[in-house]
Chain A
């Protein structure tokens, strides 16, 4: 019974990621695509959490925090590039 709920949540998350991929491909501006990538990262975090409950292991818990950090840094890098034209500034 519990496993069925886990599988159902994973399926719903997959549908959410598919809609995000639609926005990633279709998105008119670059900001839409960056937003879609950030949302895909957060959905991946939720998917990993549910999958590690399903597998009954705590080996993937570091991965959750790691994907959060990398998604945050990637979004900031994209935002800097869209706003300033450079990712890392030489002198502010």
Chain B
């Protein structure tokens, strides 16, 4: 029997780097309204972080610790994007009509909140779900 490979360096680096990658993806997601970034690249960076976890550990332990059905995640993302479009019709505007306003939040002070963020949430969930579904279903068909 082949001795089990020991990748303690890879595991330690992954545990540190995954936190940085997820933080960076959240930053890219929130920066999308005024700076480069947005839902697509934020979701893709999150998918890259999850792929790094899959690479460093194996599929089964990641799916045990992160029990998300990524096909459902993509579907929920598309549903959120469609419903934010329908909300514009509900208030008598066109489909996909977006609005924004200024609110006083407890910690942040006066903040600009836009409904385009909800559309971006949908895009990000769809991108994460599609990318992870493709990668895990490609890697499954050996043996």
Contacts and interface: CB of A to CB of B under 8 A. Distances in A.
A62 B28 contact: yes
A7 B28 CA distance: 30
Contacts of B28: 62
B21 A69 contact: yes
Given A59-B36, A72-B17, A91 B45 contact: no
Interface in A58-84: 59-60, 62-63, 65-66, 69-70, 72-73, 76-77, 80, 83-84
Contacts, number: 60
B55 A88 contact: yes
A72 B59 CA distance: 20
Chain A interface size, under 10 / 10 to 19 / 20 to 34 / 35 or more: 20 to 34
A76 B142 contact: no
A77 B59 CA distance: 14
A88 B59 contact: yes
A92 interface: yes
B30 interface: no
Q: Which of B55, B61, B136: most chain A Cβ within 10 A?
A: B55
Interface of B: 5, 10, 17, 21, 24, 28, 31, 35-37, 41, 45, 48, 51-52, 54-61, 135-136, 139-140, 142-143
Interface of A: 59-60, 62-63, 65-66, 69-70, 72-73, 76-77, 80, 83-84, 86-92
Given A66-B24, A91-B60, 18 more contacts: A59-B35, A62-B31, A66-B41, A69-B17, A69-B24, A73-B48, A73-B51, A76-B55, A87-B55, A87-B139, A88-B136, A88-B139, A89-B58, A89-B59, A90-B60, A90-B139, A90-B143, A91-B58
